[in-house]
C-alpha cells in the first residue's frame, strides 16, 4: 500500500510539473517543411524555455481537421499555419487574432516581407493593412523534370528532329505538351515511362490547384476587376475554356495509367519511382526531391510555364494566433522570434521557404539551391483561388465539375465552367455578396 | 445488500423502467434529440460555420431546393444502382456459398472462416487496399483479369464506366459472407425430415430446392438483405477511400454528397433537409420491406 501511495504521489507531482511548464501547440500539415520547422523550433525552446508541441495533420484531412477545430472554438492549437485561402474565414469569423498592434509594438514591419506573400497570407480584406498572419511558408505550384533523361544525346536529337527545337525547360504549355507526349509510353533503360504526373485529385483541392495553373497561364480572371463577383465572361472566358481543354488533353495523353485521383504524394511517388518525365508539385517538396536524387536521377526544376501570360498557382501559408487560445502571449512570442531575419535565414537553410526580404534579396539566394531562382520567379507571378470566408463552398463545386470533365470526360469545358459559376453565384448570394 | 432486497417494494413496471431507463435516456440524447434538432434546422438557412449569424426560418425552401436539384437526383440514381447490384450479387453469391458450406466435407470450418474474413476488416482499410489492387500498373485485380482475358491496361477507378462497378465488386467481396452466414443459419434450421419425406415422394433435387430449401431460407435471406440495404444506403467510408466519389461524381453516393454539403460546405439547414428526406426514404422503404417480409414468413 505504501509503495502504491508513493507511486501515486510521484505521478501526481510529475503531472503538475508538466502542466506548469510553459508550452504551446502549433498545428500544420504533415509534410517535409513541418519537420524542418520542428527542427528550427528547438532553438526557440532553448532561448525562451517555451516548449512547442506540434500536431501535423495529413494533407487530405488538414482543412477538415483545422476548420472544424476553429469552427468549434477549440483550444487545441495556440498557433496555426493555415492555408492562404483560410485567411478570409479566419478574419471574418474571428478565428485569428488581428496582429497589427502586436506588430507595431514589436517593430515587425510587413514591408520586410515579400509583398506577394503579405498580400496572400496575411491580409483581409485583400490588400488592406489588416494583418491576421505572418507570412510563414512561401510556396507555388511548379514543375520538376528528369534532367538526366533530357541530357541524353539520342533523346535530344530525336526530339529536335521531331519538333524542331531543343529538349529542355519548356517555354510554354505547348512545349510542355510536346515533351510529355515525347516521353509517353517510351522505353528508357528497359522500363516504360510516361509524360507527366499532374494533379487530378477529387476529394480536397488537388485538381483545382492543377487546372488553375493552366487557367492562370492562359489569362483567366475570376471576376470582372471593375465589378466584384461578376464572373460571367471572365472565369468562363474563351481563354479559360481553352486552358481547361488543354489540361484534359494533358491528362489523357501524358499521365501514367491510374493517375486519376492524384495530388502531392501520388505525383511524388510517380516521379521518384521513375514513371514520369515531369511532375507538377509545390516548391515545398523540391528540397526532398533534390536531396533524394539517386540511381542516376538528376532533377531539374522550373516555374509554371507561361502561355498567354506568366502566372503560377499560389500555395503557402501564414502563421496565425488562434483567438480561442489561452496562451496567446506565448504564441505571440513565437511569432516575434520567427519574424527575426536570422531565424528566417535558418528557416530557408533547413528547407523552409522564407518570405523575408533579407533572405530573398540576398545576392547568394538565387544560386543557393537549384530551385531558388524558380521560387523567386514564381513568387512574382502567383495568383490564388478565392480567399473568401466561403472558400470551401467555392472549392467543392470546382473540384467536382473539373474532375467530371477532365478525368470523367463528361460534357464540355465550357459547360463545366458555367456550372461552377452557377454554384458560385449561389454561394455568394447566400453570403450576401450578390 | 442482495439485488432481491434492493428491488423489494418496487413494482414490476418500475423495475422494468429501471432497466430500460438508461437506454431510453441514451437514445433520447444521441438519437431522438439530434433528429428533432435536424428537423428544426431543416426549416432554416443555418450555416454552422457562420458564427454569430442567427438562423432564419425559411419554411419548405430547403426541401424544395433539394428535390428540385438535378445533382441530388443523380446521386440518388448512383446510390440506387449501387444498392441494386450489391444486393443482387450478395443474395446470389451468399446463398450459393451457404448451400455449398451446408454440405459436410473436409475443411468446411476452415473454408467458412476464410470466407468470413473480409467482413471483419475495417471498410476504410478495405477501400485503401483495393485502390492498390485496382492500380492499372501493379494491381493484382488487373493482372488476374488480364490473365484470363487480355484487356490490356484499364483503370477501374479512373473510368466513369468502370468505377461504379469497382465499388460494387469491393462491397460484394466484403459483405457477401454476411449474407452467407445468415442464409447458412436458415439452411441449418430446415428439419431433415422434410427432405426425407421429399425423397420418399421422389422429388428431384431441384424440386427439393424450390419447394423446401428456398421457402425456408427466404425469410433469412430477406433479413440479411434488409440489413445490407440499410447499410449500403448510408455507405460512406469504403467508397470515399476508394474513389472519393469520383471520377467526377460517378460514384458520389447520397451519403457522400450529404457529408460534403453538411461538413465541408457547412450548409446546415439545406443538408438537414436532405438528411430528413433520406431518413424518410429509408424509413418508408424499410417499413414496406418488413411488411412484405412478414407476409412471406406467414405463408
CB contact under 8 A, A258 and B267: no
Q: Is residue A1 part of a domain?
A: no
The answer to whether residues A127 and A168 touch, using CB atoms and an 8 Å cutoff, is no
Question: Superfamily assignment of B69-298 in CATH?
Answer: MetI-like (1.10.3720.10)
C-alpha distance from A87 to closest chain B C-alpha (Å): 14
Tell whether A206 is within 8 A of chain B (Cβ). Answer: no
Q: Which residues of chain A have pLDDT under 70?
A: 1-21
Domain regions of chain B by residue span: 69-298
CA gyration radius, chain A:
23
| DSSP strand pairing (A79-83 vs A141-146) | unpaired
CB contact under 8 A, B264 and A409: no
Q: Is residue A4 part of a domain?
A: no
The answer to whether residues B153 and A257 touch, using CB atoms and an 8 Å cutoff, is yes
Kindly write down the DSSP assignment for every residue of B235-249, as one continuous string. Answer: --HHHHHHHTT-STT
Q: Is the pLDDT of residue B4 over 80?
A: no
The answer to whether residues A24 and A79 touch, using CB atoms and an 8 Å cutoff, is yes
- Which site among A258, A413, A418, A424 would you substitute to test the B interface, given the most B Cβ atoms closer than 10 Å to its Cβ? A258
- pLDDT score at A11: 53
- The count of domains in chain A is 2
The answer to whether residues A289 and A299 touch, using CB atoms and an 8 Å cutoff, is yes
CB contact under 8 A, B244 and A404: no
CB interface of A with B, residues 402-421, below 8 Å: 403-405, 407-410
* Chain B residues inside the 8 Å CB shell of A396: 260, 264-265
Nearest residue in B to A275, CA atom: B137
User: If we measure between CA atoms, which residue out of B78, B17, B83, B44 comes closest to residue B273?
Assistant: B44
Q: Model-level pTM?
A: 0.84
Q: Is residue A288 domain-shared with residue A182, that is, in the same domain?
A: yes
- Complex ipTM more than 0.85, yes or no: no
For B208, residues 6+ apart whose C-beta sits below 8 A from its C-beta are B195, B198
CA gyration radius, chain B:
24
Chain-centroid distance of CA B117 in Å reads 18
Distance, in Å, from the CA atom of A379 to the CA atom of B215, rounded to the nearest integer, reads 72
Q: Is residue A123 domain-shared with residue A210, that is, in the same domain?
A: no
Q: Which of B136, B139, B265 sits opposite A392 (nearest CB)?
A: B265
CB contact under 8 A, A405 and B160: no
Per-residue pLDDT tens digits for B7-21: 667 888 999 999 999
Q: Is the pLDDT of residue B51 over 90?
A: no
Q: Give the range of the structural domain holding residue A148, as residue numbers without chain letter.
A: 141-313+390-430
Q: Is residue A404 domain-shared with residue A302, that is, in the same domain?
A: yes
What percent of chain B shows pLDDT beyond 70? Answer: 97
Q: Is residue A367 domain-shared with residue A408, that is, in the same domain?
A: no
Distance, in Å, from the CA atom of A400 to the CA atom of A402, rounded to the nearest integer, reads 6
Per-residue pLDDT tens digits for B121-176: 999 999 999 999 999 888 999 889 988 888 777 889 988 899 999 999 999 999 99
For A147, residues 6+ apart whose C-beta sits below 8 A from its C-beta are A298, A299, A300
Q: Is residue A263 domain-shared with residue A354, that is, in the same domain?
A: no
| DSSP strand pairing (A194-197 vs A276-282) | parallel
CB contact under 8 A, B155 and A258: yes
Q: Is residue A3 part of a domain?
A: no
* Positions of E strands within chain B: none
- pLDDT score at A7: 52
CB contact under 8 A, B158 and A261: yes
For position A257, which CATH number holds? 3.40.190.10
CB interface of B with A, residues 50-69, below 8 Å: 50-52
Q: Is residue A77 domain-shared with residue A184, that is, in the same domain?
A: no
Q: Is residue A108 domain-shared with residue A73, that is, in the same domain?
A: yes
Give the pLDDT band of residue B297 (cuts 50, 70, 90).
confident
| DSSP strand pairing (A312-313 vs A382-383) | parallel
Q: Which of B246, B260, B267 sits opposite A261 (nearest CB)?
A: B246
Distance, in Å, from the CA atom of A203 to the CA atom of A261, rounded to the nearest integer, reads 8
Amino acid at each position: 500500500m505504501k509503495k502504491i501511495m508513493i507511486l501515486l504521489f510521484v505521478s501526481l507531482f510529475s503531472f503538475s510539473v508538466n502542466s506548469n511548464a510553459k508550452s504551446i501547440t502549433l498545428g500544420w500539415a504533415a509534410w517535409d517543411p513541418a519537420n524542418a520547422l520542428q527542427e528550427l523550433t528547438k532553438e526557440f525552446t532553448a532561448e525562451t524555455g517555451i516548449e512547442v508541441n506540434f500536431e501535423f495533420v495529413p494533407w487530405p484531412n488538414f482543412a477538415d481537421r483545422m476548420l472544424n477545430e476553429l469552427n468549434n472554438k477549440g483550444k487545441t492549437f495556440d498557433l496555426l499555419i493555415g492555408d492562404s485561402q483560410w485567411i478570409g474565414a479566419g478574419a471574418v469569423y474571428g478565428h485569428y487574432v488581428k496582429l497589427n498592434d502586436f506588430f507595431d509594438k514589436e517593430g515587425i514591419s510587413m514591408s520586410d516581407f515579400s509583398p506577394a506573400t503579405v498580400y496572400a497570407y496575411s491580409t483581409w480584406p485583400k490588400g488592406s493593412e489588416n494583418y491576421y498572419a505572418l507570412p510563414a511558408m512561401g510556396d507555388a505550384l511548379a514543375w520538376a523534370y528528369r534532367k538526366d533523361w533530357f541530357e541524353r544525346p539520342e533523346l535530344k536529337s530525336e526530339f529536335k528532329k521531331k519538333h524542331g527545337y531543343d529538349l529542355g525547360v519548356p517555354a510554354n504549355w505547348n512545349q510542355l505538351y510536346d515533351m510529355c507526349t515525347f516521353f509517353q509510353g517510351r522505353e528508357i533503360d528497359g522500363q516504360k515511362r510516361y509524360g507527366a504526373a499532374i494533379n487530378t485529385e477529387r476529394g480536397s483541392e488537388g485538381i483545382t490547384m492543377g487546372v488553375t495553373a493552366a487557367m492562370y497561364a492562359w489569362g483567366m480572371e475570376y471576376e470582372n476587376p471593375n465589378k466584384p463577383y461578376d464572373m460571367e465572361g471572365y472565369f468562363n472566358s474563351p481563354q479559360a475554356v481553352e486552358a481547361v481543354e488543354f489540361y484534359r488533353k494533358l491528362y489523357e495523353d501524358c499521365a501514367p495509367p491510374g493517375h486519376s485521383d492524384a495530388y502531392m504524394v501520388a505525383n511524388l511517388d510517380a516521379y521518384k519511382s521513375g514513371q514520369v518525365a515531369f511532375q507538377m508539385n509545390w516548391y515545398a517538396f523540391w528540397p526532398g526531391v533534390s536531396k533524394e536524387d539517386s540511381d542516376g536521377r538528376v532533377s531539374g526544376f522550373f516555374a509554371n510555364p507561361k502561355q498567354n501570360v506568366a502566372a503560377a498557382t499560389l500555395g503557402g501559408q501564414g502563421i496565425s494566433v488562434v483567438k480561442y487560445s489561452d496562451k496567446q502571449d506565448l504564441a505571440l512570442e513565437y511569432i516575434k522570434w520567427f519574424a527575426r531575419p536570422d531565424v528566417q535565414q535558418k528557416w530557408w537553410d533547413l528547407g523552409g521557404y522564407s518570405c523575408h526580404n533579407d533572405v530573398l534579396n540576398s545576392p547568394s539566394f538565387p544560386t543557393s539551391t537549384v530551385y531558388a531562382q524558380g521560387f523567386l520567379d514564381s513568387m512574382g507571378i502567383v495568383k490564388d483561388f478565392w480567399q473568401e470566408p466561403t472558400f470551401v463552398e467555392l472549392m467543392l463545386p470546382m473540384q467536382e465539375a473539373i474532375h467530371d470533365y477532365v478525368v470523367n470526360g463528361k460534357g464540355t469545358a465550357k459547360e463545366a465552367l458555367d456550372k461552377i459559376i452557377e454554384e458560385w453565384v449561389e454561394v455568394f448570394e447566400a453570403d450576401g455578396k450578390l | 445488500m442482495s439485488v432481491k432486497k434492493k428491488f423489494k417494494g418496487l413494482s414490476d413496471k418500475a423495475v422494468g423502467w429501471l432497466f430500460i431507463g438508461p437506454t431510453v435516456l441514451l437514445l433520447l440524447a444521441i438519437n431522438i434529440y439530434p433528429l428533432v434538432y435536424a428537423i428544426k434546422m431543416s426549416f432554416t438557412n443555418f450555416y454552422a460555420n457562420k458564427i454569430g449569424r442567427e438562423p432564419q426560418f425559411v419554411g419548405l425552401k430547403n426541401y424544395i431546393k433539394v428535390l428540385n436539384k438535378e445533382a441530388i437526383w443523380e446521386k440518388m440514381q448512383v446510390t440506387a444502382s449501387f444498392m441494386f447490384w450489391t444486393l443482387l450479387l450478395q443474395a446470389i453469391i451468399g446463398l450459393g456459398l451457404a448451400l455449398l458450406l451446408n454440405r459436410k466435407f473436409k475443411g468446411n470450418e476452415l473454408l467458412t472462416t476464410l470466407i468470413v474474413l473480409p467482413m471483419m476488416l475495417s471498410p476504410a482499410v478495405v477501400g485503401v487496399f483495393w485502390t492498390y489492387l485496382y492500380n492499372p500498373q501493379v494491381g493484382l485485380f488487373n493482372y488476374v483479369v488480364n490473365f484470363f482475358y487480355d484487356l490490356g491496361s484499364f483503370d477501374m477507378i479512373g473510368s466513369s464506366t468502370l468505377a461504379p462497378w469497382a465499388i460494387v465488386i469491393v462491397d460484394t467481396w466484403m459483405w457477401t459472407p454476411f449474407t452467407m452466414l445468415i442464409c447458412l443459419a436458415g439452411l441449418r434450421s430446415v428439419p431433415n425430415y422434410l427432405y426425407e419425406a421429399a425423397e420418399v415422394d421422389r422429388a428431384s433435387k431441384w424440386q427439393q430446392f424450390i419447394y423446401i430449401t428456398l421457402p425456408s431460407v427466404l425469410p433469412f435471406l430477406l433479413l440479411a438483405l434488409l440489413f445490407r440495404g440499410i447499410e449500403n444506403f448510408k455507405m460512406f467510408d469504403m467508397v470515399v477511400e476508394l474513389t472519393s466519389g469520383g471520377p467526377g461524381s460517378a460514384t458520389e453516393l447520397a451519403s457522400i454528397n450529404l457529408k460534403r454539403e453538411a461538413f465541408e460546405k457547412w450548409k446546415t439547414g439545406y443538408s438537414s433537409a436532405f438528411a430528413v428526406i433520406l431518413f424518410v426514404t429509408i424509413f418508408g422503404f424499410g417499413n414496406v420491406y418488413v411488411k412484405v417480409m412478414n407476409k412471406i414468413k406467414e405463408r
